[in-house]
Structure 1
Amino acid sequence: MRPPALNVGTKVALAVAAAAVCVAGSTGVLVHRITAADQLATARSGLDQQLLSAADDNGVGRRSQARIDPPDLPAPVARAVRDDVRVTYLQDTGERRVLWAATRVSDRKVLALSRPYTPEEQSLASLDRTLLATSAAATVVVSLTGLLLGLRMGRRAVAAARTAESIAEGDLDARVPPKGRDEIARLAASVNTMADALGARLEAERRVTADIAHELRTPVAGMSTAVGLLPPGRASELVAGSVQKLRGLVEDVLEVARMDAQVAAVDTEEREVSAMARRAIASLDEVELQVVADAVVTTDPRRVERILTNLATNALRHGAPPVRIQIDGPIIRVRDHGPGYPADLLAVLHTSGPQRFRTGSLTGGTGLGLTIATGQARLLGARLTFRNHAEGGAEAELEL
């Protein structure tokens, strides 16, 4: 199981916290080392001055804290003073640390001073505790600031993403409120510009669709009248069939234009789902109806029947019989036994929905059947989904 992905806000907060920890840690280590070196240098200088005073006292026979040839003199100090130099040395015995200062007072005698290094160690430990507390407080403050900044950036990015998703789902009035002048503000402006351009293109497409349909309606009606005046025969039947298909296409385009313009009215009433399905497939052969469980729903019967007719017709045209309509309460499934939806068409159906004048089939067609079915379902507040059945064939599911 993959771990959940971190959002932008969390990533920014973690990055700021990590940077704060690194800066605080580096600063603390640097201050510790500088202070320790300064303390040691000060202690060495002080003990060396005491050694010089003790040497003067020893020269005139006065008593001092210095010792002649102490038995616990560290070996490194004993070796170093052979060159007639004064030596300061910090000895670590494991249990404690001792600071030594030594010098030669004769060919064979060594004068030495020593004292515990405990005060410096305690002072350094106190400094470390202060640095730790200060670094922790600074890290918390900076991390909280980074968290607030990250959450703000994350909210703005999520708002832009949700607006883009709303636009993809058809809400072309969705916009991202412009805030700031950073990259996220630029992203928001780009999303708004995209929505404006997409809305303009779709509006132009809708106007062209409606204008073409209205312009074709009159000549098609004239052709239908003229066909009735032709003498009976095979030629007139072919012409009549073609005119009828053209008339159906014009009506489909007009219906799409009405749905695009959002002027379609929905007249609801209570109907049995099985009754609407029977009326929808009354004129279609090779369509089976299976009622698992019937239900009474409040909907627009004419639009539900149009959806089912389009789905069944599409299944017969692009799939393979038998086509089965299964009713399971308010859920209606339309399945054929053909090769199923092509992968590219299924991907489009799952994202932006059916595209008009595109079928994804080798047999041709106008591609308006699924577009009208989806538009009608949207008007009814129903859910229409498309998939390939596990046992083969395409399946569309309408949930009223």
Structure 2
Amino acid sequence: MTRPGRSLGTKVALAVAVAAACVAGAVGVLVHRLTAADQLATARAAIDREMVTAAYDHAAGRRNDARVNRPDLPAPVARAVRGKVRVTYLHDGVLWAATPIAGGKVLALKRSYSPQEQALSTLDRTLLATGAAATLVVSLAGLLLGMRMGRRATAAARTAERIAEGDLDARVHPRGHDEIARLAASVNTMADALGARLEAERRVTADIAHELRTPVAGMSTAVGLLPPGRPSELIADSVTKLRGLVEDVLEVARMDAQVAAVEREQREVSAMARRAVAGLAGVSVEIVTDTVVSTDPRRVERILTNLAANALRHGAPPVVMTVDGPVVRVRDHGPGFPDDLLTVLHASGPQRFRTGDRTGGTGLGLTIATGQARLLGAQLTFRNRPEGGAETELRLT
């Protein structure tokens, strides 16, 4: 299974972290603005009350902090006061209050706004620290949640891959009631349906093959009673092919049902190779090195016969079977395996009733060879030679 980019858990954790950071930032900005506006409004109200008191004191001749026609009065304040209104104005960290008095003069009062600015800076630092801590905590929670979701999704994906590879007993153990649990249950349902369908197909195939054995045997007997001639030869050849097909189907059914038994013996690999091609004209055997292996000779010979027959049918002569210790290679000099068939062979093994070319055939030869190799614990690989031709390698253990 490929692992592109970030995992689901990482993506969930990043999404939660980004969302938490955005929420913390939005809340911080909102609190900052509301607090700043409230502080300014409170300070303006306080200095405005002082300004009113100072105006009464000035009119009564009492001393106060207000000054008349201050030279440092900001120009915007001076312009506003000319409109005969009392004003407050924040400028460069100083809060001003001014009001017109008799004689066209301006009475002004100023207070430092530094305490409010310092309090707002302290609040900003507190909001930043709190937001960072909250984002970290929420991100960790999101990471844990994402990792849990990722593990569950990965388990479902791996189980689906095992099912696709032929392990129909693989199941997911769904937990919870969310979408991932539903996905896990769907994978199990799919496996159950696929297993039931394959079992039905295997049963039907085996039943048909068993039912055909009797009439095919009768046909073989009847062919022997026909008078000699070309028609009799054609019928005999067709019956022989039909009998071989029925036996192949039965062999596949037995392997699918996992009832085939392996009977191991000590045999020379070269002897098994020669017996496998004894009835095939056009196949030569070359011995590089020989060895003795413990295996089921009947199944090994069946594998090699099928590989050689497949090379004769779909490739081109000469077909050479090379024995190199426990490794047997069958090579032809034809066009090689088609690219699409080679992809299938590497991914999931040969598929019955599919040959990948236009020369006919059932595709059971490679299927049986692969099944027999699996029973023996041997390794069967398919490839095309760079100089041309297909090559199949059987590695016995």
Moved more, 54-63 or 346-355: 346-355
Partner of 2:123: 127
Alignment-mate amino acid for residue 277 of structure 1: A
Alignment-mate amino acid for residue 204 of structure 2: V
Partner of 2:258: 262
**1:376: Cα distance to partner?**
1.0
Distance 1:331 1:54 in 2: 110
**1:354: Cα distance to partner?**
2.1
Q: Does residue 338 of the first structure (1) align with residue 366 of the second (2)?
A: no
Q: After the TM superposition, which residues 2-41 of structure 1 pair with which residues of structure 2 at under 5 Å, given as runs?
A: 4-41=4-41
Partner of 1:280: 276
Moved more, 329-338 or 203-212: 329-338
Moved more, 300-309 or 50-59: 300-309
**1:143: Cα distance to partner?**
1.4
Partner of 1:149: 145
Distance 1:291 1:112 in 2: 115
Alignment-mate amino acid for residue 165 of structure 1: E
* SS across alignment from 1:262: coil
Instruction: Give the alignment partner of residue 167 of structure 1, picking from 139, 163, 166.
Output: 163
TM-score (norm 1): 0.90
* SS across alignment from 1:42: helix
Gaps of 5+ in 1: none
Q: After the TM superposition, which residues 260-339 of structure 1 pair with which residues of structure 2 at under 5 Å, given as runs?
A: 260-289=256-285, 297-327=293-323, 330-339=326-335
Distance 2:190 2:23 in 1: 42
Gaps of 5+ in 2: none
Partner of 1:245: 241
Distance 1:57 1:256 in 2: 114
Instruction: Give the alignment partner of residue 217 of structure 1, picking from 207, 210, 213.
Output: 213
Alignment-mate amino acid for residue 42 of structure 1: T
**1:290: Cα distance to partner?**
5.2
**1:34: Cα distance to partner?**
0.9
Partner of 1:79: 79
Closer, same or farther: CA 13–311 of 1 in aligned 2, 3 Å: same
Partner of 1:45: 45
Distance 1:123 1:324 in 2: 92
**1:272: Cα distance to partner?**
4.9
Closer, same or farther: CA 119–236 of 1 in aligned 2, 3 Å: same
Distance 1:371 1:226 in 2: 31
Q: Does residue 379 of the first structure (1) align with residue 369 of the second (2)?
A: no
TM-score (norm 2): 0.91
**1:304: Cα distance to partner?**
2.4
Aligned residues: 395
Closer, same or farther: CA 69–334 of 1 in aligned 2, 3 Å: farther
* SS across alignment from 2:350: coil
Closer, same or farther: CA 61–318 of 1 in aligned 2, 3 Å: same
* SS across alignment from 2:91: strand
Q: Does residue 393 of the first structure (1) align with residue 376 of the second (2)?
A: no
**1:89: Cα distance to partner?**
1.1
Superposed CA RMSD: 2.5
Partner of 1:100: 96
Q: 1:321-345 deviations in whole A, cap 9, x for unaligned?
A: 2234455555444332222333443
- Identical-pair percentage: 77
Moved more, 116-125 or 375-384: 375-384
